[in-house]
Amino acid sequence: MYLEKASRVPGAVLWWSTSPGSGAAERRVLPDGCMDVIWADGTLLVAGPDTAAHVVSDRPGARYVGLRFGPGTGPVVLGIPAYELRDRRVPLAGLWPGAEVRRLTERAGETADRHPSPDVCLGAVLEEAAARRLDVAPRPVDAGLVGSVVNGVRAGLPVARIAADAGVGERRLHRRCLDAFGYGPRTLGRILRMNRAVDLARRGAPFATVAAVAGYADQAHLSREVRSLTGVTLGALAR
């Protein structure tokens, strides 16, 4: 079971996932240009930005509560450039002071043990910790660049045009994208476009329509890109 909702943290999403109660469960986590803080059965982890689908094998009944930051926000909260966590899962204690993580882990554990709706309250604990970090974290000098890049790649603009509109050179744009997203604007554009295509397909749109609306050259191009980034077909993801 998987559920999500908009978070009180700007641009973030709270999500909850529970594995089936019997038998091993395999999940395919799609790349999305985001970073997550995750409570995983008593442990706090950070999921960095993925360049391809991350396949996870869960034990029966495993529970997860996560806070997914919008593209470019995670590095501000976590205090580390996104590229350093690319395709990685690391303990939160490796990024934040140990005492802070211990307090947060203890509070999350108490919430999970005592509250009648533990997953909801665990999400609130993660939100509060992220909000405190955002309040005191220094903002990047070119924070506006993040929004410009996201909007540009979603619109299918060439990298040269995005850089020109932002008033920076392409090399500087690439460096800033590595810090903010974990990869350059072209890779970010491919990932965001793929996610839009999967969303459209899951809503029942014909694949030819998906290809046209999401900005692919044709349906064959759509199929190649989805398989390259996720390891499976669009039909499998839509099901």
Mean of pLDDT values over 32-51: 93
Report the pLDDT value the prediction gives residue 216, as an integer from 0 to 100: 96
What integer pLDDT is reported at residue 26 of this predicted model? 77
SS3 state of residue 122: helix
Q: Which of 115, 136, 157 is the last residue of a domain?
A: 136
Nearest Cα neighbor of 215 from 229, 238, 196, 236 is: 196
Give the mean model confidence (pLDDT) for residues 59-70.
Answer: 88
The domain tally of the chain equals 2
**pLDDT for 122-180, tens place per residue?**
888 999 999 999 888 776 656 788 889 999 999 999 999 999 998 999 999 999 999 99
pLDDT band at 107 (very low <50, low <70, confident <90, very high): confident
Structural domain including 225 reads 143-238
User: What are the pLDDT digits (tens) for 4-39?
Assistant: 999 999 889 999 988 776 655 678 899 999 999 999
Q: Which of 136, 170, 203 is the last residue of a domain?
A: 136
One domain, residues 120 and 158? no
Q: How far apart are CA 151 and CA 73, in angstroms?
A: 15
Specify whether the CB–CB gap between 85 and 46 falls below 8 A.
yes
Distance (Å, whole) CA 46 – CA 38: 6
pTM reported for the whole predicted model: 0.89
